[in-house]
């Protein structure tokens, strides 16, 4: 019996200590970056053959044997993998057993609308499929959102997705991120103001588009809150532009402002029917906590900031200074009397 025990110990030592150590230390330099896609359900032997064909591993049979006796032959994770630099067979094996798949960064800037986001997600999922799902009232209702689409609820942030992710996964991640930011404090504040979540986000989306300087967001919020209380037109150009999407060519004309429509806040009082973009946290906070000021008007100074006033007379004075004179100098005849 003792004669059998000693060889067995030696075999175990060789299998589980020396061979892995050998494979770890046998590193080589890849001449260039190598990418491989492991499809779901592929057998261990098939995957190892693919890795060998791409020169990512040298000892296919040894790795196959180690996977079998360790019970990890079914632990290979599907997905897209990327390898570069100095690697060993064990490095490759560890990576695919851990499922360290390649991630694609997707940055959604604050103020992006649903059409813009659809163009950004193409590396992860088809843009038309994304748009179809994101504009579905049924899907919005699944998340408890009382709106005709998910516009406003696709939270702007930087995300990391795998190539195997689909549009449903992308949308679910963004909406869940929104609800993580829509805190109990925000919900309570909205109720205190007598506003629904959808109304707050709609107002926040307008603030997001108008406030080029972060510090002005509470002031712009105050203007819109004050106008809503007085039953005044919001007169927000970004809402008119949104109503012209996706065909809008970038040139807002006076005729657009005169044409009635659900998003034309020059012709329709109150908030538009849905958000017009996806606002960030600062805009949402500003919609809930406007500055305590009596302003009813603001006009752009053409440097990203605005002049805020309480009377139409003051407002028209600054429009003359910052808008009309600039339009005459530039020859722009489509200038607009802002707010």
pLDDT one-digit tens code per residue, 13-37 = 455 554 555 555 578 888 999 999 9
- Is residue 280 classed exposed, middle or buried when 0-12, 13-18 and 19+ CB atoms within 10 A define those classes? buried
Across the range 106-123, mean pLDDT stands at: 96
Average pLDDT over all residues of the chain: 88
Determine the pLDDT at residue 40. 84
Helix/strand/coil for 105? strand
Topology alike, domains 27-68+75-101 and 103-181: yes
Determine the pLDDT at residue 20. 57
Query: Which residues are within 8 A (CB) of 285 and not within 5 positions of it... i.e. 6 or more apart?
Result: 186
- Out of 3.20.20.70, 3.30.1490.480, 3.30.70.360, 2.60.40.10, the CATH code matching 27-68+75-101 is 3.30.1490.480
Q: Is residue 76 scored above 50 in pLDDT?
A: yes
Domain ranges for the chain, please list them.
27-68+75-101, 103-181, 194-330
Count CA atoms closer than 13 A to 237's CA, side-chain side. 19
CATH number of 103-181: 3.30.1490
Whole-prediction pTM: 0.83
- Residue 4's pLDDT band, with cuts at 50, 70 and 90, is very low
Determine the pLDDT at residue 19. 55
- Percentage of residues of the chain with pLDDT beyond 90: 68
Determine the pLDDT at residue 59. 85
Q: Is residue 325 scored above 70 in pLDDT?
A: no
Q: What is the pLDDT of residues 227-271, one digit of tens each?
A: 999 999 999 999 999 999 999 998 999 999 999 999 999 999 999
- Is residue 204 classed exposed, middle or buried when 0-12, 13-18 and 19+ CB atoms within 10 A define those classes? buried
Determine the pLDDT at residue 156. 98
Q: Largest Cα–Cα distance in the chain?
A: 106
Q: Is 302 left (phi over 0), alpha (psi -120 to 50) or beta?
A: left
Residue 234 near residue 257 (C-beta atoms within 8 A): no
Q: Is residue 175 scored above 50 in pLDDT?
A: yes
Pick the range with the lowest mean pLDDT from 164-178, 179-193, 322-336: 322-336
């Amino acid at each position: 019996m003792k004669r059998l025990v000693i060889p067995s110990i030696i075999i175990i030592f060789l299998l589980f200590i020396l061979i892995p150590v050998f494979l770890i230390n046998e590193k080589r330099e890849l001449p260039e970056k190598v990418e491989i896609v492991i499809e779901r359900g592929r057998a261990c032997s098939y995957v190892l053959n693919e890795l060998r064909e791409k020169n990512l591993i040298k000892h296919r049979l040894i790795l196959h044997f180690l996977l079998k006796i360790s019970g990890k032959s079914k632990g290979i994770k599907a997905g897209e993998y990327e390898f570069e630099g100095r690697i060993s067979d064990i490095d490759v094996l560890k990576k695919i057993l851990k499922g360290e798949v390649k991630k694609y960064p997707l940055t959604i800037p604050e103020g992006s609308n649903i059409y813009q986001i659809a163009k950004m997600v193409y590396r992860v999922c088809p843009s038309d499929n994304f748009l179809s799902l994101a504009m579905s009232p049924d899907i919005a209702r699944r998340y408890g959102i009382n709106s005709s689409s998910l516009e406003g609820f696709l939270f702007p942030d930087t995300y990391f997705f795998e190539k195997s992710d689909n549009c449903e996964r992308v949308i679910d991640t963004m909406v869940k991120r929104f609800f993580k930011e829509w805190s109990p404090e925000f919900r309570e504040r909205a109720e205190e103001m007598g506003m629904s979540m959808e109304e707050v986000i709609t107002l926040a989306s307008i603030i997001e588009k108008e406030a080029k300087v972060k510090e002005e967001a509470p002031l712009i919020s105050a203007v819109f809150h004050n106008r809503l209380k007085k039953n005044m037109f919001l007169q927000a150009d970004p809402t008119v532009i949104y109503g012209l999407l996706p065909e809008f060519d970038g040139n807002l004309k006076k005729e657009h402002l005169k044409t009635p429509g659900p998003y034309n806040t020059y012709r329709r009082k109150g908030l538009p029917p849905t958000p017009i973009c996806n606002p960030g946290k600062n805009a949402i906070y500003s919609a809930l906590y406007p500055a305590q000021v009596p302003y009813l008007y603001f006009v752009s100074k053409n440097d990203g900031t605005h002049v805020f006033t309480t009377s139409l007379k003051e407002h028209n004075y600054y429009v003359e200074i910052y808008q009309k004179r600039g339009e005459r100098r530039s020859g722009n005849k489509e200038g607009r009397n802002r707010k």
